[in-house]
Amino acid sequence: MKRKSLHPDFDQTLELLRAHGFETAAYAGIEGGVLVSKAGVGAVLTAAVRAKDETGSAAAFAVHPGELVKGEVARLVDHGYQKFMRTSQDERPATASQLQAVHVFSEELKQMTGAASLYNESLGTTSDVYRYDRLMGREPARGGGH
């Protein structure tokens, strides 16, 4: 007789999120993607590929948490001196309240989905992309050589 897993599947995870005040909607940009949002912050989740013993989270991030701007999840970009919220339309400096909202949302979402919460991410908001001015133009040369 097959034992029932103690870990919820993807649909059960979405139900749990809805029960805790998260809104969910199908996300057209990614096959099987679901936009999960709360308090102006969102992320896109997909069903995770799980190990045979069915341990770990049933959900995986297809788009990491960010502020919702016109239905799009903004990416957090770090330029070294300032963090920015970037969408396909524009890029604006991130405010402290936006960063705090993304951080709170991320931690709550990880707790609800059973995803790993890493120490460095728990200390504050981490960026999706790091674009430091002093490093621009230092990309290694491509092709033969060293």
pLDDT for 49 equals 79
Q: For residues 59 and 36, what is the distance between their CA atoms, to the nearest angstrom?
A: 11
Mean pLDDT over 73-87 rounds to 88
Mean pLDDT over 26-34 rounds to 91
pLDDT for 138 equals 57
How many CA atoms lie within 13 Å of 127's alpha carbon, on the beta-carbon side? 17
pLDDT for 140 equals 60
Mean pLDDT over 105-126 rounds to 74
Give pTM, 2 decimals.
0.74
**What is the per-residue pLDDT across 36-68, written as a single tens digit (0 to 9) for each?**
999 999 999 999 876 544 556 788 889 999 999
Q: Are 5 and 55 in contact (CB under 8 A)?
A: no
Handedness of CA 30, 39, 75, 58 (dihedral sign): negative
pLDDT for 92 equals 93
On the question of pLDDT at 7 being above 90, the answer is no
**Judging by DSSP bridges, how do beta strands 72-73 and 83-86 pair with one another?**
unpaired
> End-to-end alpha-carbon separation of the chain, Å?
60
Lowest mean pLDDT among 96-105, 112-121, 126-135: 126-135
Which of 29, 58, 62 lies closest to 44 in space, CA to CA?
Answer: 62
Q: For residues 21 and 60, what is the distance between their CA atoms, to the nearest angstrom?
A: 19
The rounded mean pLDDT for the chain is 80
Q: Are 57 and 10 in contact (CB under 8 A)?
A: no
Q: Per-domain residue ranges for the chain? A: 10-130
pLDDT for 27 equals 92
